[in-house]
A = this chain, B = another copy of it.
Amino acid sequence: MRTRPLKVALLGCGVVGSEVARIMTTHADDLAARIGAPVELAGVAVRRPSKVREGIDAGLVTTDATALVKRGDIDVVVEVIGGIEPARSLITAAFEHGASVVSANKALLAQDGAALHAAAGEHGKDLYYEAAVAGAIPLIRPLRESLAGDKVNRVLGIVNGTTNFILDKMDSTGAGYQEALDEATALGYAEADPTADVEGFDAAAKAAILAGIAFHTRVRLDDVYREGMTEVTAADFRSAKEMGCTIKLLAICERSEDGASVTARVHPAMIPLTHPLASVRGAYNAVFVESDAAGQLMFYGPGAGGSPTASAVLGDLVAVCRNRLNGATGPGESAYADLTVSPMGEVVTRYHISLDVADKPGVLAQVATVFAEHGVSIDTVRQQGKDGEASLVVVTHRASDASLTGTVEALRKLDTVRGVASIMRVEGE
């Protein structure tokens, strides 16, 4: 074994960073044996140096992250700051000054992954980011390496633990969105400002990353259709139950049937209770991958938290260190397929639509005609009436999102349709 240690600079020492530092210290011998050389924590960049950090030599702590990554003797920079800047500049500077990078930064990777990969490639360095998607769950590496000889057709999963906790709570207790969110906040599963989670921004970033890797095609964050779960109601869960379904916030990356284009989207959807994703509880994550040869694979585990994220970071750290000792680099960006990324309108799926309608003869015929005119085939209709008001619940066969949107617009113009109570996609069948 090489005795000269590989030097690691840690950017950020919060929940994840402090756990990375702790494991690097307590498991130093294991890491050295697995890498083939010792690893040494050479510097820790933080915003508030006064905060006591147990187990970290105070002499390693600095507020000057830029100076740290530019030192020139750093082998690997571990970036767990999050956000776009200063993370992006620091990672770029790291490559320029000879370091490889391990990052857990989904927002940055989703927005600037291509440019960062290019910078890594230009300097012959590695950029690894298993921790950016689904925490501890090995997902990037299986997609990028294990399935490198296969053709992935779909990635469908629960990639945000906060929203899964909220939806699971709504499902199991009948609570409304706000009540479930309050509980998630009280328990620390939701942040004070939960926007990134509940509006689907976090999941959309992960979907962009996953779609890019799965389809060997650059998928920008703007390419990902995004719909949050703040509008999901207790009534939606009751409707879902009547259909033998539950509701999950899903990230779905799909290849079109002709194989020429791909789509990526995040939205709440009904899935059958028999689907394995339906039983993913609390803040856990789970991702289905469907490919030509392998068939259906599922990956399940804790999608967030200090220790699970640190596990993924350290797995990458070991890989990057091994590559460095080998004088090699791991797989970089693979975007050769360069498939068209289609807009949401071209997505084909099924829909569950609740309409408030007048309770009089001929309404169903009118509604059915509108669906037919837009080429949306109806699977089932359920009609419930009382006191001159009625509701119609329509479940469609597979249709394009554009056709469904056209249908709903036309329905809203019908005098007999008082309102569209909810529209939800049905997935996982």
Residues of A within 8 A of B (CB): 19, 23, 27, 30-31, 33-34, 130, 136-138, 141-142, 145-151, 216, 276, 279, 291-302, 305, 307-308, 310-319, 322-323, 326-329, 331, 334, 336-337
Whether B308 and A294, one on each chain, are in contact in the complex, defined by CB atoms closer than 8 angstroms, is yes
Whether A130 and B146, one on each chain, are in contact in the complex, defined by CB atoms closer than 8 angstroms, is yes
Chain B residues within 8 Å of A23, by CB = 149-150, 293
Whether B33 and A145, one on each chain, are in contact in the complex, defined by CB atoms closer than 8 angstroms, is no
Q: How far is B148's CA from A136's CA once the two chains are assembled, in angstroms?
A: 12
- Please, which residue of chain B has its CB at the minimum distance from the CB of A289? B301
Chain B residues within 8 Å of A314, by CB = 148-150, 293
| Identical copies of this chain, number | 2
12 more contacts with CB within 8 A, not counting A138-B146, A145-B315, A149-B311, are A30-B337, A130-B146, A138-B138, A141-B141, A276-B300, A293-B308, A293-B311, A296-B302, A297-B301, A323-B328, A326-B326, A327-B328
Among B150, B300, B307, which residue has its beta carbon within 8 angstroms of that of A298?
B300
Whether B300 and A295, one on each chain, are in contact in the complex, defined by CB atoms closer than 8 angstroms, is no
Rank and list the top 4 A-B pairs by shortest CB-CB distance, nearest first. Answer: A149-B314, A136-B294, A138-B146, A293-B311
Among B34, B146, B296, B307, which residue has its beta carbon within 8 angstroms of that of A294?
B307
Whether B298 and A299, one on each chain, are in contact in the complex, defined by CB atoms closer than 8 angstroms, is yes
Chain B residues within 8 Å of A33, by CB = 216, 334, 336-337
Q: How far is B317's CA from A322's CA once the two chains are assembled, in angstroms?
A: 20
Given contacts A149-B313, A151-B27, A138 and B326 within 8 Å (CB-CB)? no
Q: How far is B142's CA from A312's CA once the two chains are assembled, in angstroms?
A: 10
Which of A138, A299, A317, A318 is packed against the most chain B CB atoms within 10 Å?
A138
A-B contact pairs, 16 of them (CB 8 A): A19-B293, A23-B149, A33-B216, A136-B297, A148-B319, A149-B310, A149-B318, A292-B307, A293-B307, A293-B311, A294-B308, A294-B311, A296-B302, A298-B299, A298-B301, A299-B299
A175 to chain B, nearest CB (A): 22
- Please, which residue of chain B has its CB at the minimum distance from the CB of A310? B293
Chain B residues within 8 Å of A148, by CB = 34, 314-315, 318-319
Given contacts A34-B334, A151-B30, A138 and B318 within 8 Å (CB-CB)? no
Chain B residues within 8 Å of A136, by CB = 293-295, 297
- Please, which residue of chain B has its CB at the minimum distance from the CB of A329? B326
Q: How far is B329's CA from A317's CA once the two chains are assembled, in angstroms?
A: 17
Chain B residues within 8 Å of A137, by CB = 297
Q: How far is B27's CA from A292's CA once the two chains are assembled, in angstroms?
A: 11
- Please, which residue of chain B has its CB at the minimum distance from the CB of A36? B331
Q: How far is B298's CA from A336's CA once the two chains are assembled, in angstroms?
A: 31
Given contacts A297-B137, A307-B295, A328-B323, A315 and B130 within 8 Å (CB-CB)? no
Chain B residues within 8 Å of A322, by CB = 331
Q: How far is B138's CA from A151's CA once the two chains are assembled, in angstroms?
A: 15
Given contacts A216-B33, A327-B328, A336-B33, A294 and B319 within 8 Å (CB-CB)? no
Chain B residues within 8 Å of A295, by CB = 136, 301-302, 305, 307-308
Q: How far is B151's CA from A363's CA once the two chains are assembled, in angstroms?
A: 63
Given contacts A146-B141, A150-B315, A318-B149, A300 and B297 within 8 Å (CB-CB)? yes
